[in-house]
Structure 1
Amino acid sequence: MKRKISLFLMLFFSILAFSQKTVSGKITDEDGVAIPSASVTIEEPGKDAILAYGITNSKGEYKVTFTTAEPNVDLKVKAFNQKPLTRQINNSDQNLNFKLDSEATEIKEVQLKTKMITARGDTISYDLKAFDSKNDRTLADVMRKIPGIEVNTDGTILYQGNAINKFYVNGKDLMEGGYGTINNSLPKDAVQKVEVLENHQPVKILQDKVPSDAAAINIKLKNSVTMTGRGEVGVGLDPLLWNIKLTPMFFGQKSQWVVNYKTNNVGEQVENEGNILAFGSRFEGRRVNASQNDWLNVENANTPNLPVKRYLMNSVHYLSANYLTNIDKKKEWELKANANYTNNSVEREAYSQTDYFATSQFPAFRVTQNTANNFYTNKAKGELIFTKNAKKGFFKNTTSFSQFWNADRAIVERTDAFTARNGYEAIEAPTTSFQNSLSTIVPWKEKMVNVLSFISYQNDKQVLDVSPTSYLNIPGLNPGIYADAVRQNLRLKTFEANHSANIGFSTKGWTFTPEVGLNFKTTNLRSVLTDFQEGRYLGYGVAFDNDLKYTTATPYGSVGVNFKNDSWMLYANFPVNSNNIKAEDPLRNVSKSVNQVTFEPSVFAQYSFASFWKASVNANVNNNFGEVNTAYSGFILTSPNGINAMDAANPIPQNNTKSAGTRLEYRNPLNNIFFNVNYRFSDARRNLISNPTRNAAGYTILSYRELENHSLNNGYSAEVGKYFPKFKTNASISYSNNTSKTDAFLNNDAYTSKNNGQSFGIKFNNTYFSWMSIDYNASITRTMQTNKSAVTQLNSENSRSGFTHNLGAFFYPLENHTIGFSWDQVNTNSEENNYRNAFYDLSYQFTWAKKKIDFELKWMNIANRKVFETYDISSSTISYTRVMLRPSQVMFTVKFNFK
Structure 2
Amino acid sequence: MHLRKIFALIFLTVFCLNATAQTIGGRVVNNKGITLEGVSVTLRTSDDRPVAFCNTNEDGTFSIELPQSETAEHLVFSMIGYAKRCIALNNFKPGQDVVLENDAFMLKEVKVKAEKIRRSGDTLTYSVAAFMQKQDRSIADVIAKMPGLSVSPSGQIKYQGKVINKFYIEGADLLGGKYALASENIKANQVKNVQVLEDHQPVKALKKVKFSDQAALNIVLKDDAKNVWQSVVEAGLGASLQGKAQLLRDAQLLEMLFSKSKQSISMYKTNNTGKDIGHETIDYTAAKASLKADNPLIESVTISTPSISDQRYNFNDTHVFATNWLFKTAKDNDLRLQVNGLIDKTNVTGHTRKTYLDAGTTGVSVTEDEALNDKTNEWSAELTYKVNKDNHYFANFAKGYIGFNRSRGEAMLNHAPILQRANRDKKVLSDNFEWIKTLSNNNTLSIKSRFLYNELPSSLLLVNGSTERISQQKIEWDASTGFRHKLLGMYITYNIGAAYKRQKMRLDNFYTSLNATYTQAQVYVMPSLSYISPSLRLNAGLSGELLYRKYGDESKPTFHLEPFVFANYRLTSRWSADMLFSHALSPNAFSSYIEAPVFTNYYSLIQGKAQLNTTTTNMLSNTWKYNDVIRGLFGNLGLSYSRTSNLPLYESVFEDGFYKSRASQHTSHNTSTSISGGIGKSIGWGKASIELNASASNTKYQLLIAKEVVDFTRRDLSTGIAIAYHPWEVFSIEHKSSYNTSARKGNNHTLFNNRQSFLHHWLRLYFLPGKWQMELSNELFQSQDKSISNSFFTDLSVSYRQKRWEATLIYNNVWGTTSLEQTYNANAQQIYLQTRLRPSELLFKLSFSL
TM-score, with length taken from structure 2: 0.93
CA distance in 2, matches of 1:289, 1:49: 51
**Is the counterpart of residue 632 in structure 1 residue 594 in structure 2?**
yes
Partners in 1 of 2:394 and 2:75 — Cα distance? 46
The AA in structure 2 aligned to 1:496 is E
Aligned to 1:319: 321
Question: How far is the alpha carbon of 1:109 from its aligned partner?
Answer: 3.9
Q: Letter of the aligned partner of 2:678 in structure 1?
A: E
Mapped contact 2:430–2:453 kept (Cα < 8 A)? yes
How far apart are the structure 2 equivalents of 1:110 and 1:840? 47
2:352 is the alignment partner of 1:390? no
Change (3 A) 1:708 1:37: closer
Aligned-partner Cα distance in 2 for 1:169–1:450:
28
Q: Which residue of 2 aligns with 1:878?
A: 830
Summarize the alignment of residues 484-503 of structure 1 with structure 2, pairs less than 5 Å apart.
Answer: 485-503=465-483
How many Å separate the matches in 2 of 1:413 and 1:29? 80
Aligned-pair CA distance for 1:669: 1.2
Q: Distance in 2 between matches of 1:871 and 1:320?
A: 38
Deviations along 1:723-753, one digit per CA (max 9) or x if unpaired, are 0012310101111110100011133232111
Which residue of structure 2 aligns with residue 580 of structure 1?
548
| Partner Cα distance (2:609, 2:467) in 1 | 22
Q: Which residue pairs with 2:518 in the alignment?
A: 550
Q: How many residues align?
A: 839
C-alpha RMSD of the superposition: 2.7
Moved more, 793-802 or 214-223: 793-802
CA distance in 2 between counterparts of 1:187 and 1:660 reads 41
**Residue 513 of structure 1: CA displacement?**
1.2
Q: Give the letter for the 2:234 counterpart.
A: E
The AA in structure 2 aligned to 1:145 is: K
Partner residue, 2:654: 694
Instruction: Return the match for 1:796 from 735, 752, 758.
Output: 752
CA distance in 1, matches of 2:718, 2:246: 39
2: distance between equivalents of 1:33 and 1:661? 40
Residues 253, 269 of structure 2: 8 Å contact kept? yes
Q: Which residue of 2 aligns with 1:652?
A: 612
Alignment of 1:745-894 (within 5 A): 745-789=704-748, 795-812=751-768, 814-830=769-785, 832-849=786-803, 852-894=804-846
Quick check: 1:782–1:802 contact (8 Å CA) kept in 2?
Answer: yes
Contact 1:85 1:100 (C-alpha < 8 Å) held by counterparts:
no
What SS does structure 2 have at the residue aligned with 1:600?
Answer: strand
From the superposition, tell whether residues 682 and 27 of structure 1 become closer, same or farther in structure 2 (CA, over 3 Å): closer
1:187 Cα deviation from its structure 2 partner: 1.6
1:380-529 to 2 correspondences below 5 Å: 380-415=379-414, 420-445=415-440, 446-466=442-462, 469=464, 485-506=465-486, 510-529=490-509
Q: What's 1:64 paired with? A: 63
The question of whether the paired residues in 2 share the 8 Å contact of 1:493 and 1:524 is answered with yes
Distance across 2 between alignment mates of 1:872 and 1:823:
24
Q: 1:358 to 1:630 in 2, by over 3 A?
A: closer
- Indicate yes or no: 2:539 matched with 1:592: no
Stretch moving more, 743-752 or 761-770: 743-752
Flag the 1:24–1:314 CA change in 2: closer, same or farther, 3 A: closer
* Maintained 8 Å contact 2:305/2:833: no
Partner amino acid, structure 1, of 2:652: P
Aligned to 2:174: 174
1:557/1:728 CA distance change after superposition, 3 Å = same
**C-alpha deviations, 1:110-143, integer Å up to 9, x for none?**
1122211111111111111111111212111211
Aligned-residue offset at 1:100: 7.5
Partner of 2:290: 287
Question: Counterpart of 2:624?
Answer: 664
* Deviation for aligned residue 1:27: 5.8
Matched with 1:622 is: 584
1:722 maps to amino acid: K
In structure 2, what residue type is equivalent to 1:407? R
Q: Which residue of 2 aligns with 1:144?
A: 144
1:735-783 per-position Cα deviation (integer Å, ceiling 9, x unaligned): 1110100011133232111100111111111122111111211111121
d(CA) in 2 for partners of 1:671, 1:15: 23
Alpha-carbon distance in structure 2 between the residues aligned to 1:687 and 1:366? 26
Cα distance, 1:840 vs structure 2: 0.7
3-state SS in 2 of match to 1:422: strand
For the residue of structure 2 that corresponds to 1:777, the secondary structure is: strand
Find the aligned partners of 1:86 and 1:401 in 2 and give their Cα distance.
60
- Structure 2: gaps of 5 or more residues: 240-244
Distance 1:139 1:393 in 2: 34
Shift of 1:33: 10
Q: Is contact 1:145–1:730 with CA below 8 Å preserved after alignment? A: yes
Asked whether the equivalents of residues 209 and 509 of structure 1 are also in contact (C-alpha less than 8 Å), the reply is no
State the Cα distance separating 1:489 from its structure 2 match.
0.9
Aligned pair partner of 1:607 in 552, 569, 588: 569
Contact 2:462 2:601 survives alignment (8 Å): no
1:188 and 1:363, CA in 2 relative to 1: closer, same or farther beyond 3 A?
closer
Classify the secondary structure of the residue corresponding to 1:94.
coil
Change (3 A) 1:494 1:56: closer
Give 5+ residue unaligned stretches, structure 1.
470-484, 531-539, 585-590
Task: Assess, with a 3 A threshold, how the Cα gap between structure 1 residues 444 and 109 changes in structure 2: closer, same or farther.
Answer: closer
Distance in 1 separating the partners of 2:299 and 2:665? 27
Give the alignment of 1:65-214 within 5 angstroms: 65-66=64-65, 68-69=67-68, 73-79=72-78, 80=80, 82=83, 85=86, 87-89=88-90, 94-96=94-96, 109-214=109-214
Specify whether residues 735 and 687 from structure 1 end up closer, same or farther in structure 2 by C-alpha distance, changes over 3 A only: closer
AA aligned to 2:430 is: Q
- Give, in angstroms, the shift of residue 38 of structure 1: 3.9
Tell me if 1:367 matches 2:366: yes
Q: Give distance in 1, aligned partners of 2:29 and 2:401.
A: 60
For residues 522-572 of structure 1, the C-alpha deviation after alignment (integer angstroms, 9 at most, x for no partner) is: 101110113xxxxxxxxx4xxx22321111111111012222221111112
Determine the structure 1 residue equivalent to 2:242.
none
Distance 2:453 2:737 in 1: 44
- Paired residue type of 1:671: R
SS of equivalent residue, structure 2 residue 141: helix
> Quick one: structure 1 residues 739 and 458, their matched pair in 2 at CA, closer, same or farther if it must change by over 3 Å?
same
Letter matched to residue 799 of structure 2: Q
Q: Which deviates more, 498-507 or 97-106?
A: 97-106
Q: Tell me which residue corresponds to 1:535.
A: none
Helix, strand or coil at the partner of 1:819: strand
SS of the residue corresponding to residue 189 of structure 2 reads: helix
- Give 2:24's aligned residue: 23
How far apart in 1 are the matches of 2:300 and 2:324? 35
Residues in 2 aligned to 1:75 and 1:267: alpha-carbon distance in whole angstroms = 59
Alignment partner of 1:733 out of 661, 679, 692: 692
Cα displacement string for residues 392-418 of structure 1 (whole angstroms, at most 9, x for unaligned residues)? 311111111111121111211022xxx
Identity of aligned residues (%): 22
CA 33–433 in structure 1, closer or farther in 2 if over 3 Å, else same: closer
Tell me if structure 2 keeps the 8 A contact 1:274–1:340. yes
> Aligned partner of 1:828: which letter?
S
**Contact preservation (8 Å) 1:781, 1:802:** yes
In 2, the alpha carbon distance for the partners of 1:857 and 1:820 equals 10
